[in-house]
Every structure is written in C-alpha cells, then in structure tokens.
Amino acid sequence: MHTHAPGAAARILLLAALSPAVVPAQERPQDPPQTISLTEAQKRILQTLEAESGERAAALLLRLPETAKRFNTNLLAATPDPELDRKLGREMADTFAEAIQLRIARIRSAAKALTPEQRLALVAELKNRTPPTCSTILSKECWAT
C-alpha cells in the first residue's frame, strides 16, 4: 500500500485522464506532483473519462492479437498473399490510429475540466518531466491513495 501527500489522489486522477487509455498498475507513477489540486467534481469527471476511454481502448486493443496472428501467418507462409498482407496491415494501422484518436479525445476532455490555474500548474509540472507527459502527471492524480 502506497501513501502519498494530501491531494495526490486528485493529481493522479488528472494524470490518468491525460494518459493512455490502458495503463497497467505497475506502470502508474509513484511520486505525485505537488502543484495540482482537483475538486471532487473534477475527480468524478476524470474518473468517468478514464473508465469510458479505458473500456473503448480495451475493446480496440483486443482486436490486435488475432489480426497480428493472421498477418504473421500470411507473412510467413510459403506464398504470402499480398492483398491479405495489405488488408491486415491496414486493419492493424487503423486500430492503432483509433486508439491514438481516443487518447487525444481523452486529453482534450480532461483539459476542459481544468481551471486556468490548474492548466498553468500542469504546464509547470510538465516542464519538469523528461519527457514531459500529461499522462504521467494525471495518472498520479487518479491512483494515489
């Protein structure tokens, strides 16, 4: 069980809203920033965003293993089918593109939930990151206890 500074849960929630839709627990940040404090209403908004986008991303990403298997099987066949190669390659690229668009929409929605002061604090926090990522900062807001 991790313990964090007061307000850490709010920071993690904000981070998660700006993070990739699916973040394994072991990859979630452990050191919350000290600059962003979310209201309970903002936390609820960001938790909803995370849940909705996570479900949609999971559904998208569940398609990939079967498509990749079919792609690899064709690629390694004695006589690969060039049309199937193109079709499955497009299918995988489209799935990744959908996941990226979902993440972008999630980041935009999370940013709309912030006050101007919170946005400035997040920008300042991002300047201290290498590489700076909204997802890291907001994930900390969601997952601190």
Q: How far apart are CA 33 and CA 61, in angstroms?
A: 30
* Domain edges within the chain: 8-143
Helices (H) and strands (E) in the chain, counts: 5, 0
Of 14-23, 61-70, 133-142, the one with minimum mean pLDDT is 14-23
* Residues forming a β-bridge with 138: 15
Residue 127 buriedness (CB in 10 A; 0-12 / 13-18 / 19+) = exposed
Least confident range of 3-7, 103-107, 120-124? 3-7
Residue 3 scores a pLDDT above 60? no
pLDDT in tens, 67-103: 999 999 999 999 999 999 999 999 999 998 998 898 8
pLDDT at 2: 42
Determine the pLDDT at residue 138. 57
Name the range with the highest mean pLDDT among 7-11, 20-24, 67-71, 99-103: 67-71
Place of tokens 């601190």: 144
- State the pLDDT at residue 137: 54
